Amino acid sequence: MRALRTVALSCCLFGLPLLAQVAQAAQAAGDGHAEHHGLPAAAPRVLEIGPFAVTNSMVLTWVVAIVLILGAQLATRNLRAIPEGAQNFWEWLVESLHDFLEGIIGADLVKKTFWFFATLFIFILACNWFGLVPGVGSIGWGHPDAAGRLGHLSDPLFRGANADLNMTLAMSMIFFVCWTIWALQANGPGGFFLHIFGPKGDTAGALKLLMIGVFLLVGVLEVVSILFRPVSLSFRLFGNVFAGENMLETMALLSPTFGWLLAIPFYFMELLVGLVQALVFMLLTSVFTLLICQHDEEHGHGHGHAHAHGHPTGPAKH
C-alpha cells in the first residue's frame, strides 16, 4: 500500500516543475487573438499575479492531482485484508501496472522505477479523460462572428492538461532527468560513456581500430537521439490530445441541430486514444530506461561468455 500512496502523492509533484514551463509559454503566447478555427494552441491565462501566470490547463492539472490524491487517501483510510470498493479498485490498478511493468523491465528495475512509471500512466490517463468531461474546453469566452454567432472559444475556462505542450514537455524533461540518474547508477560514468561510444563485439587488430571510429560516429547519433527523446515524447502526446479536442469541436459545429450526435462516436474514440497514449508514454519511457540500465549487465555477461569459451581460466583448463 505504500506504493499506492506514493503513486497518488507523486502526482502533486508534477505541478511544481510545470509552473515555470507554463508561465513561460503563456507569456510568449502574445496578447493578440489570431482568427482561427478550433481551440487555441496556447493555453489562455485565467489569473495573473505579477509576472506569474496561471493558465486554464494548469488549473485542470491541479484538479486532477487533488482528485487522485484524495481518491487514494480515502481508499486506504480503512485498510481491509480482503479489499472491497475503492480499495479493491486501487489495489487492482497498482498491482496490474506492477505486474505489467515487471514483465517488461524486470523485477530489479521495477523496484526502483515503478513509482515513476505508474504515476506517469495514472496521471496522464486521468488528465486525458478529465479533458473529455463536458464543459472542459466548451465553456468560456470567444469572439462572435458578424452574425453574432459564437463559432469557437478562444478562451475556454478549462483546458485539457495534455493539450498544452508545456505540460507534456515538462513530464518528458522530468523523465530525462530520472533516466540520466538511473543510467549513471546502473553503469557508472565510465560505463555510461562506453554504452554510447564504446565498440560492440569482439574484434582485434586493424578491425578493432576501425570499429572504434565507427562507434564513435554512431555514439554521436545516439546522443542526438537521446536529446531528441523528450521532444518526441512531448509532441506525440500533445499532438494526439490537441487534435482530438479540435476534432470533437469540429464535429459538434458541423450541424447546429445534430452536432452533439455527430461527436458521440468520436468522443468514445477519444476515450480509447487517451488510454492508448498514456500506455504508449509509459511503455516508451520504461523501454528507454531498460535499454540503458540493462547494458552493463549484458556487457558483463558477454565478456564472461567470451572468457568461458575463448579464454578458459587456469582451473577450468585443468
Q: By percentage, how much of the chain surpasses pLDDT 90?
A: 35
Kind and range of the H or E element at 252?
Answer: helix 206-254
Confidence of residue 313 (pLDDT cuts 50, 70, 90): very low
Query: Is 318 within the bounds of a domain?
Result: no
159 pLDDT higher than 50: yes
Instruction: Report the interhelical angle of 165-197 vs 107-130 (nearest 10°).
Output: 160
Q: Which one has a higher pLDDT value, 156 or 274? A: 274
Query: Is 236 within the bounds of a domain?
Result: yes
Q: In whole angstroms, how far apart are CA 3 and each of 15, 76, 98, 291?
A: 20, 11, 10, 24
| Number of domains the chain is built from | 1
Confidence of residue 194 (pLDDT cuts 50, 70, 90): confident
Confidence of residue 311 (pLDDT cuts 50, 70, 90): very low
96 pLDDT higher than 80: yes
Confidence of residue 300 (pLDDT cuts 50, 70, 90): very low
The pLDDT score that the predictor gives to residue 51 is 76
Q: By percentage, how much of the chain surpasses pLDDT 70?
A: 71
Q: Which one has a higher pLDDT value, 179 or 144? A: 179
Query: Is 150 within the bounds of a domain?
Result: no
- Of 5-14, 157-166, 187-196, 269-278, highest mean pLDDT: 269-278
In the chain, the amino acid numbered 16 is L
110 pLDDT higher than 70: yes
The pLDDT score that the predictor gives to residue 19 is 35
Query: Is 89 within the bounds of a domain?
Result: yes
C-alpha span between 155 and 150 (Å, rounded)? 12
Residue-range definition of the domain harbouring residue 228? 2-140+156-313
Confidence of residue 35 (pLDDT cuts 50, 70, 90): very low
Q: Which of 62-71, 124-133, 243-252, 274-283 has the lowest mean pLDDT?
A: 243-252
Of 16, 20, 11, nearest in space to 166 by CA? 20
Residue 103: exposed, middle, or buried by beta-carbon count in 10 A (0-12, 13-18, 19+)?
Answer: exposed
The pLDDT score that the predictor gives to residue 97 is 95
Span 6-20, average pLDDT? 42
Query: Is 301 within the bounds of a domain?
Result: yes
Query: Is 25 within the bounds of a domain?
Result: yes
Query: Is 147 within the bounds of a domain?
Result: no
Query: Is 145 within the bounds of a domain?
Result: no
